[in-house]
Structure 1
Amino acid sequence: MTKETITLRETNPTDLAEIVRVQKEAFGYDKEAELTAALLGDASARPYVSLLAFRGGKTIGHILFTRCRIEGAQTAQEGHYILAPLAVVPEYQRQGIGGALIRKGLELLRERGAKLVFVLGHKEYYPRHGFVPDAGKRGFQTPYPIAKQDADYWMVQTLPEAGFTEHKGRVLCAEALDRPEHWRE
């Protein structure tokens, strides 16, 4: 049996039920699905990049990048994002679908002038996609404190070649993500 091609596209408002279904299947509970739905309806998360992955006409993955900013910056900031969440339904995990969603999302963000992308996630997985562990060491603190032993899970990626030249400080995220429970296990 040959693998069918994975297709990716940006989401639209009619996709919400499928996005929620993918999130619930991927995580096995409702927390990320509820967070995703809240972020998609949160004006402070915009502009965002939201992508779905399909194989054989079936929706199998979703990724969301929402706008954020750095506390204390003197000028309006454009192009700062947080990746949260990334979901692939269990039967399609470990097949490169998450990586494809990350690559396409970063490509779209780069085209739209993004500068920094943050993620709080698996320190073994996200560095394979260009994220640098312990964003705090580079001057970017999480919206809420995380345990010192978890510092490597807070990561950043710079999209332009210039590197980490942006204003440093605490990252301020969309209202729906701005709750302590989203920043600890």
Structure 2
Amino acid sequence: MDIRIRTTTDADTAAIAALLNAAFGPDQGPEIAALVADLLHDPSARPLLSLAATREGRMVGYILFTHTQIAGAEPTVSSAILAPMAVHPDHQGQGIGGRLIAAGLEQLKAAGVQLVFVLGHPGYYPRYGFDPAGERGLEAPHPIPGEQAAAWMVQELQPSVIGNVSGRVVCADTLNDPKHWQE
């Protein structure tokens, strides 16, 4: 499988939107594509990491990590949130999502990010090192119903952060809308 993971550029805007529309379908795709476009231009989302997985020059996967902070955390913690991640339906089940997650986490760790959050499928993200965040005193930006609490997850990229910090995660202005916090 000849998959290349690379940082996206402004020239990728249309390909990102097309991929998100294909991956999430007509009901959610346009809304998620608009969210990503807004996040890419939101100063409060920075620093951010936007990665594409390509095969033969065609975008087949996408992942975005944006800046977060933990309200009132002492000491200050460098953190990010993974939202969204998508793989084109024709390429799902081939490990592309896992490669995007691994590449993103590796780059974030090298940049000194300490924690990465995700609101996602609790059967998928734990394979890549994510664990429930609420149990560790790290609250989502908006309340998550109890039956979906396991979908709010965190991964520690630097040792000894979890257990020494707690509070509510504050994300980019664009992502800080309750409608984005329903799994």
Name the TM-score, length of structure 1 as normaliser: 0.93
5 Å matches for 1:5-44? 5-28=2-25, 29-44=29-44
Structure 1: unaligned runs, 5 residues or longer: none
Structure 2: unaligned runs, 5 residues or longer: none
C-alpha distance 5-99 of structure 1, shift in aligned 2 (>3 A): same
SS in 2 for 1:39: helix
Q: Map Cα deviations across residues 117-160 of structure 1 (whole Å, 9 max, x no partner).
A: 00000001000000002x11100111010100111000000001
- CA RMSD of the aligned region, Å? 1.3
Equivalent residue for 2:179, pick from 178, 181, 185: 181
Q: Map Cα deviations across residues 63-96 of structure 1 (whole Å, 9 max, x no partner).
A: 0000000111356x45200000001110001110
- The yes-or-no answer on 1:138 pairing with 2:148 is no
Aligned to 2:94: 95
Segments of 4+ in structure 1 off by > 2 A?
none
Aligned to 2:115: 116
5 Å matches for 1:44-123? 44-74=44-74, 77=76, 79-123=78-122
Aligned to 2:154: 156
* Distance (whole Å) between structure 1 residues aligned to residue 37 and residue 84 of structure 2: 11
* Distance (whole Å) between structure 1 residues aligned to residue 78 and residue 8 of structure 2: 20
Share of identical aligned residues, percent? 49
User: Shift of residue 166 of structure 1?
Assistant: 4.6
Partner AA of 2:43 in structure 1: A
* Distance (whole Å) between structure 2 residues aligned to residue 113 and residue 121 of structure 1: 23
C-alpha distance 78-46 of structure 1, shift in aligned 2 (>3 A): farther
What is the total number of aligned residue pairs between the two structures?
A: 180
Name the TM-score, length of structure 2 as normaliser: 0.94
